[in-house]
A and B are shown apart, each in its own frame.
Chain A
Amino acid sequence: MLQLQGVDFTVGRSRFFDSLPGSAEATSKIYVKVQPDAWEGAILAQLDTGAAWSVFEPEVAEAIGILNGSGEIVELDTRFGLKRGRLERVTVTVLADEGESLGVEATIFVCRDWPERKNFLGYNGLLERIRIALDPPGYFFYFGPAPSL
């Protein structure tokens, strides 16, 4: 794993993918594996430090039981326009192929009319407490917990 000044900077790594089969997205992005909540499966979500919040598409949100939650309703200005939804708390595991995975008690923005196939790992509520690094030629995504506050 990666170290910074002799101390572990990351604890795990996984392969990332730069395109998503079935998606109309024409440009390269970073797609990493996560396991939402207590699923027994992994999905690919776009790593996006420019996204204010993490978002799962409605079917994923429904499958993890947060689509009809009671979280605070907010209206956010997103890349897909103004979207009304809720902020919900859920555990997301960033899965490692090597090393250790990270379990994150994260805050997700849940919106019923969010587009299909658009799952994002955003900054507030998730990435803000994770250290990350990329090895683009090797297609590796490194990650580790931020130091305790």
Chain B
Amino acid sequence: MASGILGALNELQPTRWIMPRPERIPRLRGLSAVGLFRESIETLEVAGSIQAQAALARFTTLESVVLGIRQPLEYQSYAASYVATAGVFRPSSVLNIRVADEIRVIDVVPIQLANEVVQLERFDPAAIIDLPIGDVLWHAEATTAWQPFAGRLETPNAARKTPYISLIRNLIENDRISQARALLNALPEETVDQPQLMELRRVLALPKVSTTKMTDMDRAREYEWLKSHERDYRGQWVAVDGDRLVLSAGSLKELIDELKRLNLARRPLIHRL
């Protein structure tokens, strides 16, 4: 089935510019396809760094999602403005991107994996294709001249496997942690021993919580000391026990080193004023 889909897709000759269409159900070489065939040639908003810079083709069947990319060829920056995001103004420009006609298939992802975890319709294409963004020049002023993408955006191999690490990182950066975890749990067996994925599993694991008999004490007195001496020790790290200053230092490292040397019987409250 997969090779039939790949063969069919490789014969596609779409027009250069395609307006986004919500849905289309194609019949390719006798194969029935259910789902969405969707391409978007987007006018991209650039804010400080490129968020997406290529057109991503996705073809969904009953069994799998085929990921393909169109090579970005040229870009055109035609507006310069400032965009407010979370109360901060960031410079941005608008890019048009002209892409190749050919859709190069990079992977076929089992539908179970895609459906369980990943909303591919909303995927950041840069995560899928993992292209470096540094080659696109930042234009302080608008220019209508078409600029070529640099040659190193070309991937050497015709077939490129789904970059799971980039997918997971993308999910983390979009605060979709439960999906990142689910994706890690659903990855193919052959990825289990990959060091980066093992590290991701480690840091994305649920926190392990245990009780301990170790206790502290009410720090009301320390707190009052901090409030009273805020100005006297501004910029300093201090260690306070009750209403008594144990130590102060210019850096936390100095403070900790000295505390270790003192080997105090009681844990002080440590704070930067």
Contact = CB atoms under 8 A, between A and B. Distances in A.
Given A15-B220, A74-B172, A97-B217, A41 B211 contact: no
B226 interface: yes
A98 B215 CA distance: 7
Contact of A63 (B86, B177, B252): B252
B189 interface: no
A22 B209 contact: no
Interface centre among B175, B208, B209, B227 (most CB of A within 10 A): B209
Interface centre among A33, A88, A129 (most CB of B within 10 A): A33
Contacts of A74: 169, 172-173
B210 A22 contact: no
Nearest to B235: A22
A100 interface: yes
B28 interface: no
Contacts, number: 155
A21 B209 contact: no
Contacts of A72: 169, 172, 196, 199-200, 203
Contact of A71 (B203, B218, B259, B260): B203
B50 to A, nearest CB: 13
A136 interface: no
A81 to B, nearest CB: 6
A138 to B, nearest CB: 12
A22 B230 CA distance: 6
Interface residues of A, number: 59
A102 B211 contact: yes
A21 B215 contact: no
Q: How large is the interface on B (under 10, 10 to 19, 20 to 34, 35 or more residues)?
A: 35 or more
Contact of B216 (A71, A76, A96, A117): A96
B267 interface: yes
A76 B177 CA distance: 12
A25 interface: no
Interface string A51-75: 0100001011011000000111011
Interface in A1-28: 11-12, 14-15, 17, 21-22
B239 to A, nearest CB: 6
Given A40-B259, A97-B215, A116-B272, A103 B210 contact: yes
A104 B210 CA distance: 7
B213 interface: yes
A16 to B, nearest CB: 10
Contact of B239 (A41, A63, A96, A129): A41
Contact of B272 (A22, A52, A105, A129): A22
A99 B212 CA distance: 9
A129 B212 contact: no
A43 B234 CA distance: 17
A92 B239 CA distance: 19
Nearest to A35: B267
B145 interface: no
B27 to A, nearest CB: 42
Contact of A104 (B175, B196, B209): B209
A102 B207 CA distance: 12
B255 to A, nearest CB: 8
A130 interface: yes
B1 interface: no
Kindly list the 10 A-B residue pairs having the minimum CB-CB distance in the complex, ordered from nearest.
A22-B273, A21-B226, A95-B216, A41-B270, A105-B208, A87-B203, A59-B252, A145-B209, A100-B211, A129-B207
20 contacts: A14-B216, A14-B218, A15-B220, A41-B239, A43-B271, A44-B269, A52-B177, A57-B272, A59-B251, A74-B172, A87-B172, A97-B215, A103-B212, A104-B207, A117-B272, A125-B203, A125-B207, A129-B206, A146-B209, A149-B206
